[in-house]
Amino acid sequence: MQDSDNSEEIPVFYNSKQAAEWLGLKPNTLAKMRVYGNGPAYRKHGQRVLYAVKDLVEWSNSRRRSSTSEITDA
């Protein structure tokens, strides 16, 4: 969705449960990733943890591999 006066996209957000489902992970796995800092970028809105869909896509793309012999950071 774009504002006609502004070319910047308005991000769509998922809560932790939705983000985990989209990534094919369990919500607890995503929570542990937040603790260790190896998961997708997230935002805190008060007590709520939210993930921009754009950040989920970027994080997922950064995990892309073409061989099992590639060195990974996770």
Q: How confident is the model at residue 73 (pLDDT cuts 50, 70, 90)?
A: low
Range 5-19 average pLDDT: 84
What pLDDT, in 10s, does the model give residues 14-49? 999 999 999 999 999 999 999 999 999 999 999 999
- Rounded Cα distance, 47 and 66, in Å: 38
End-to-end CA distance of the chain: 33
In this prediction, residue 11 carries a pLDDT of 82
Distance of CA 2 to the CA centre of its chain: 21
What pLDDT, in 10s, does the model give residues 46-70? 999 999 999 999 999 999 888 888 7
Handedness of CA 24, 62, 51, 74 (dihedral sign): positive
- Rounded Cα distance, 55 and 68, in Å: 25
- Is 3 exposed, middle or buried (CB count within 10 Å of its CB: 0-12, 13-18, 19+)? exposed
Domain definitions of the chain by residue range: 9-61
In this prediction, residue 46 carries a pLDDT of 95
